[in-house]
Amino acid sequence: MNKSGTLNHTIHTIRGHRTRGQRIRNTIAVLVVISVFCYAPVRAQDASEPSQPVEDVAIDDSPSDTSPSDISVNPSLPLEEIRMFSEVFERIRTEYVDEVDARTLIKNAIKGMLNGLDPHSSFLAPEDYEDLVNSSEGKFGGLGIEVVIEDDLLKVVSPIDDTPASLAGIESGDVIVMIDGEPVQGLGLRKNVEKMRGVPGTKIKLTIFREGEDGPLEMTLVRANIKMSSVKGEILEPGFAYTRVSSFQQDSAQNLRFRIKKMVSNGDAPLKGLVLDLRNNPGGNLDSAVEISDMFLRSGEIVSTRGRKKTSISSFDAKPDDVLDGLPMVVLVNRGSASASEIVAGALQDHGRALIVGDKTFGKGSVQVGASLTNGAGLKLTTARYYTPSGRSIQATGITPDVVVRAVRYVDAGDERQRVGETDLVGHLENGNDGDDVNEDSEESETVARTSDLLEDDHELITALNVLKGMSLVRQQ
């Protein structure tokens, strides 16, 4: 059927309208919806996200698969559902209590179409798409907190190191219910994030529900310009180094390599092992995660992605270079370790290169692609899942540590804090492993003595250091 014939068929599916004017308006609505399904977006040329979520957003700058001359009505389109959409569209346009223009209705329909897929796919207004670009460079304003929408409330994935959120004591799993005394419900992620932003130095009050607390917590934070320094490092004890990666930025791998080499050359004793801390690291730049994994591997696959399109299927392999020359290594993770953090932990675990210590990770194992749309707007769409070298899907499963150690807080007995994960998100993407249970729980480790200021009150890091010492002793035998 040619294009004209298909459109005529679509028009004839619209029945039961009393006036010619109604029929024409509904026909136009149907054609608008068809155009939404038929026109491919123009691909973007830069990106990645936070202050809001830190996402592993790749930028697809390849040409569109659909050229204008190829555009036609897809014969598989559900015409009955399109007719129903046009009826709803017309009823809202003519009968809703307040007048709403057609452009707003179409834009809201696009948002709903994406929001119904999974928590990470979304429509981005021009200013939001620009934020996606800025955050990949590690520069953005606000509080330094990664949040997602859950049950119409803001749920914290993790605060970012040395930002107002982390300094105020906000924790992974906290639920933000009010901002400056106004409910967050009904506003969506983007508007709530905008409310948390503002002039540096100004104050903002957050009302938070935290599992185990008797009532809501009131926290006053001071906004700041967020410039993340994602890599830190120091010697825990003679011979044992500690590095912290708080997010994966474009220069994180380079900075990590520099810090490790500096500790190796300036240490009081020969290096015996390394703790890599990825706790509360919400992700970031995929290439950076691959480079950091490659830093400790000499061969083999690091991560693969699998989607429906050929361009979504890829694999990243290690090069023959290990910055530690095979020295023992422990990776620290928790429920705030997501996405790119899980790629690193999964690769090092599958290759037996490091022991993973801490709590089960978040389970965000999906790939988002950013694409530019008309008038500077953008689209963030989930196109693939990540798989570890052994073929495990991270999505909604996460990485189970070899040694499970949960954070210790000095609270009343029986107080079990909430730990948020990908599976807690409404509409989360399924695992993709056909129901296979690829992770087994490990036994919980016990505390050991502290030996430095950095280790004080950090139960997980204490355990990681002692596991590393044990690995070092075994290696010397």
Cβ-Cβ contacts under 8 Å for 177 (sequence gap 6 or more): 153, 154, 183, 184, 185, 207, 208, 209, 216
State which H helix or E strand residue 188 sits in. helix 188-196
Give catalytic status of residue 46 as yes or no: no
Q: Which pair of tokens denotes residue 2?
A: 């040619």
Give catalytic status of residue 350 as yes or no: yes
Are β-strands 355-358 and 329-333 bridged in parallel, bridged antiparallel, or unpaired? parallel
Neighbours of 7 (CB within 10 A): 17
H-type alpha helices, 305-386: 340-350
Helix (H, G, I), strand (E, B) or coil at 172: coil
Q: How many helices (H) and strands (E) does the chain have?
A: 11, 20
- Give dist(CA 102, CA 108) in Å, integer: 10
Contact 241, 235 (CB under 8 A): yes
Q: Which of 56, 161, 174, 350 is catalytic?
A: 350
Neighbours of 171 (CB within 10 A): 22
Q: Which pair of tokens denotes residue 402?
A: 């070899």
List the one residue out of 331, 362, 328, 361 whose CA is nearest residue 349. Answer: 331
CA distances, 154 to each of 179, 425, 429 (Å): 10, 11, 19
Q: Which of 360, 364, 380, 469 is catalytic?
A: 364
Q: Which residue do the tokens 């409404």 mark? A: 426
Q: Which of 246, 252, 293, 339 is catalytic?
A: 339
Q: How far apart are the first and last CA of the chain?
A: 76
- Give dist(CA 179, CA 229) in Å, integer: 27
Q: Which residues are catalytic?
A: 339, 350, 364
